[in-house]
A = this chain, B = another copy of it.
């Protein structure tokens, strides 16, 4: 099954949470598995959206305890590797959607592009050559599914 990564900050405002939740829901509706960093903010909201639509969610955690996970992750991968877990998220995702995001998200975007993955962005402060700007959550999922089908 297709694995789509959702990346974004561990804390964010309500507007961004709503977007992330809709991204997760749309991933689930398309029958794909949602991968994320397993913590709060964009990660939690997207996982919540996926679970609301009966999807499957995988959290790739930076710390050494599965209990760090938010409550919407079916599976917890405990890396104990801090920021290096961002590389695992990028590698494990067939394509990625960045929702907002700060430096951590930028590192994931960079790793993903270096690996040749499709990266759609929503409300990104970064304008990185190679990413694809999406109009809304549905458009973001459409973009990454399209990218995967061509790869």
Contact = CB atoms under 8 A, between A and B. Distances in A.
A113 interface: yes
Interface in A68-126: 74-84, 86-88, 90-92, 94, 102-104, 106-107, 110-111, 113-115
A92 B82 CA distance: 14
A3 interface: yes
A64 interface: yes
B114 A91 contact: no
Contacts of A87: 80, 82-84, 86-87
A144 interface: no
Contact of A114 (B3, B103, B128): B103
Interface of A: 1, 3, 33, 56, 58, 60, 64, 66, 74-84, 86-88, 90-92, 94, 102-104, 106-107, 110-111, 113-115, 128, 130
